[in-house]
Amino acid sequence: MAQATLVKRGAYHDSVALLTLARALRGRAGVRDAAVVMGTPANRDLLAQAGLLTEEAGTATPNDLVIVVEAETPAVAQAAAAAAEPLLARSTPGGDGGRRPPPRTIAGAIRRMPEANLALISVPGAFAAAEARAALAAGLNVMLWSDNVSLRDEVALKHDALERGLLLMGPDCGTAYLAAVALGFANAVPSGRVGAVAASGTGLQEVATLLAGRGHGLSHAIGVGGRDMSEEVGGLMTLAALDLLGEDAATELIVVIGKPPAPAVGRRIRGKLATIGKPVVVCLLGRDVAAGTDGPVTTVATLEDAALAVDAALAGAPWRPRVFSVADVAGRISEARRGLAPGQSSVLGLYAGGTLAHESLLILEPLLGPVASNLTGGKGRHRVIDLGADEFTVGRAHPMLDPTTRVEMIGGAGEQADLAVLLLDVVLGHGAAADPAGDIAPALEAARGAARARGRGLAVVASVVGTARDPQGLAAQVARLEAAGAWVLPSNAQAARAAAGIAGGEAILAALLHPGAHA
Find the binder of another protein among 63, 73, 122, 325 (CB under 8 A): 63
Size of the site for another protein (CB under 8 A): 48
Q: Tell me how far, at minimum, the Cβ of 454 lies from another protein, in Å.
A: 29
Instruction: Indicate the residue among 40 and 78 with the shorter CB distance to another protein.
Output: 40
CA distance linking residue 313 with residue 219, whole number of Å: 16
Residue 102 Ramachandran class (φ > 0 left, ψ -120 to 50 alpha, else beta): beta
59 binds another protein (CB under 8 A): no
Q: Which of 1, 75, 82, 107 binds another protein (CB under 8 A)?
A: 107
Question: Which residues have C-beta within 8 Å of that of residue 479, sequence separation ≥ 6?
Answer: none
Query: Cα angle vertex 39, ends 33, 40, to 5°?
Result: 120
| 393, 445, 450, 490: which one binds another protein (CB under 8 A) | 393
Q: Out of 51, 74, 124, 271, name the contact with another protein by CB under 8 A.
A: 124
Task: Say whether residue 2 binds another protein (CB under 8 A).
Answer: no
Q: What are the beta bridge partners of residue 71?
A: 2, 31
Residue 442's SS3 state is helix
Q: Are strands 218-223 and 191-198 parallel, antiparallel or unpaired?
A: parallel
Nearest approach, Cβ of residue 283 and another protein (Å): 30
Asked if 34 touches another protein (CB under 8 A), the answer is no
Estimate to the nearest angstrom the gap between the alpha carbon of 466 and the chain centroid.
11
The candidate with the shortest Cα–Cα distance to 422, out of 370, 335, 362, 488, is: 488
How many angstroms separate the Cα of 309 from the Cα of each of 213, 231, 277, 492?
14, 28, 17, 16
Q: How far is the CB of 227 from another protein (least distance, A)?
A: 16
Whole-number minimum distance, CB 341 to another protein, in Å? Answer: 34
State which residue, 170 or 235, has the beta carbon closest to another protein. Answer: 170
Span interacting with another protein, options 66-74, 227-235, 252-260, 386-394, rule CB under 8 A: 386-394
Cα dihedral 452, 454, 456, 457 in deg (nearest 10): -30
Q: In 10 A of CB 46, how many CB atoms? A: 14
| Nearest one of 472, 392, 405 to 436, comparing CA atoms | 472
Residue 14 sits in the site that holds another protein (CB under 8 A): yes
In the bound state with another protein, the residue whose beta carbon lies nearer, of 138 and 450, is 138
Q: What are phi and psi of 335, to 5 degrees?
A: -60, -45
- Strand pairing of 141-144 and 168-169? parallel
Q: Is 325 in the site for another protein (CB under 8 A)?
A: no
Using CB under 8 A, pick the residue from 85, 390, 415, 506 that binds another protein.
390
Nearer to another protein, 22 or 363 (CB): 22
The alpha carbon of residue 261 and the mean position of all alpha carbons in its chain are separated, in whole angstroms, by 23
Piece of the chain touching another protein by CB under 8 A; list 96-104, 238-246, 301-309, 484-492: 96-104
Compare residues 55 and 391 and give the one whose CB is closer to another protein. 391
3 state SS of 396? coil
16 binds another protein (CB under 8 A): yes
- Judged by the rule CB under 8 A, the positions of this chain that interact with another protein are 12-16, 18-20, 22, 36-38, 40-43, 45-46, 49, 62-63, 91-94, 100-105, 107-108, 111-112, 123-127, 148, 390-396
